[in-house]
Amino acid sequence: MSEEATSLMDLPSPILLQILCTLPPTTLLYVKTLSKSFLNLTLDSEFTKLSRSASIIIHQFYSSRTASRTNTLKLLKFVVDNFDHDPNDDLDLQLYFPIDTFLLVGSVHGFVCFNYFFGDVDSIYILNPTTREYIILPEPQRVRKWPNLVTYGFGFDPVRFEYKVVRIYQEEIRDDDTNGFCYYKSEAQVYTLGKLGYWRNSVEHIMLWVNLYAKIHWLVYDAKGNESICSFDLENELFESFPTAPKYNKKRYWYSRSLGVFGRCLCVCDNYADTHFEVWVMKEYGTTSSWVKEIVINISPECNDWLGNEMIYMLKVLEDGEVLFMWRDDFLFLHHPVKKTLKKLDVCTGNILASSHVSSSFSLKNFEGEVVNVF
């Protein structure tokens, strides 16, 4: 009896899709290069739906119900015109990290980056909520002390298959010749998961960040308050900057504009006006003339009390075109550009931070040299 050679491609497509969805991101990137059939499968709409089962991760750090600090991770899943939040999936970090100053940096390929700081302590945690594993990065150089500032970013380099945390340390410099006018001198430090085990100094440079095109992006301001977009290339570890979106208002820039991702494009959310809120999208990356006003939300009297002149963040564009936003750190709301509808989501009662998220079962133990903790 002869045996015929078989391969993965002989399996039914639904089974293959399920297998591909369980692969770690780095392996999946390699699989895409093996054959056109694998590439086509990863582009399949069903694969997209499966790989995006968990859309948003929410970090609740204050509960208005109990009027106390909390430290809870929640997953918000979107299904057609509705959302699903299962309290049984919530992860109470306070049981394992008895501290109350966690800040969510962001999520990449299922890994969630947190920053904890108190006094002279400034720590970074990388957590996988699915595997319940976490690592604590070594203590960085240059301790965070007021009035100096520290900003973090977390991203993935698809060329070297490396995950990197970028730390921007900003030291306040006061100019005695200009009646105490101050500015910030900045430097960057980089930590690569599973490599060397320490922070490396990167190029000096000049606060919101987004991860796009293997680059981390920030909104930055010079000594005169002029706004621009700064990017950090995760492969070459170099900074560059380019002009920001139009309609920049210097009087309100520090609390009315945020940087985000609209589909696969950079966007700036601008809440400077009293009557409306705007979303500007850069259609061609790095090209100033490609900025387009994509969304205008008129602020009606009934929603003026919860869409006032505060920071609004774009979190995700859903499949039907509806857009999920976060107002300050208070709540989430949905806007449909075609139907012109606004809907406030009652997911958390308190202060939150949120990030787009896709769950992954990839173990942190695959990063050689890192000390992995389990809870």
Give tens-digit pLDDT for 85-99: 888 888 888 888 767
Within 10 angstroms of residue 43's Cβ, the number of other Cβ atoms is 10
Q: Tell me, yes or no, whether 272 lies in a domain.
A: yes
Within 10 angstroms of residue 241's Cβ, the number of other Cβ atoms is 15
Please tell me whether residues 34 and 46 are part of one structural domain: yes
Better-predicted residue by pLDDT, 110 or 308? 110
CA 352 to CA 247: how far, in whole Å? 28
Q: Considering only CA atoms, which of 19, 24, 50, 26 is closest in space to residue 131? A: 24
Cα 357 from chain centre: 8
Residue in this structure with the two tokens 């500015």, named with its chain if needed: 183
Please tell me whether residues 25 and 71 are part of one structural domain: no
Please tell me whether residues 265 and 285 are part of one structural domain: yes
Task: Report which residue type is found at 101.
Answer: T
State the total domains in the chain: 2
User: At residue 26, does pLDDT exceed 60?
Assistant: no
The secondary element (H helix, E strand) that includes residue 354 is strand 350-356
For residue 307, what are its two tokens?
């869409």
Q: Tell me, yes or no, whether 56 lies in a domain.
A: yes
Q: Tell me, yes or no, whether 221 lies in a domain.
A: yes
| 341 — pLDDT class (breaks 50, 70, 90) | confident
Please tell me whether residues 35 and 161 are part of one structural domain: no
For residue 350, what are its two tokens?
């308190």
Q: Considering only CA atoms, which of 251, 299, 244 is closest in space to residue 275? A: 299
| 35 — pLDDT class (breaks 50, 70, 90) | low
| 226 — pLDDT class (breaks 50, 70, 90) | confident
Q: Tell me, yes or no, whether 193 lies in a domain.
A: yes
Please tell me whether residues 13 and 153 are part of one structural domain: no
Radius of gyration of the chain from Cα atoms?
22
Mean pLDDT is lowest, of 93-107, 174-188, 279-293, 353-367, for 174-188
Residue in this structure with the two tokens 């680059």, named with its chain if needed: 215
Which DSSP letter does residue 127 get? Answer: E
The secondary element (H helix, E strand) that includes residue 18 is helix 13-22
Please tell me whether residues 26 and 107 are part of one structural domain: no
Which residues, 6 or more positions from 37, have their beta carbon under 8 angstroms from its beta carbon? 9
Residues in the chain: 375
Please tell me whether residues 70 and 35 are part of one structural domain: no
Please tell me whether residues 173 and 243 are part of one structural domain: yes
pLDDT value, residue 143: 75
Q: Considering only CA atoms, which of 350, 353, 375, 356 is closest in space to residue 67? A: 350
Q: Tell me, yes or no, whether 1 lies in a domain.
A: no
Give the chain's mean pLDDT: 80
Q: Which domain holds residue 22?
A: 8-51
CA 113 to CA 135: how far, in whole Å? 10
Please tell me whether residues 241 and 318 are part of one structural domain: yes
CA 308 to CA 277: how far, in whole Å? 9
Query: In the predicted model, what is the mean pLDDT of residues 77-88?
Result: 76
For residue 372, what are its two tokens?
């992995």
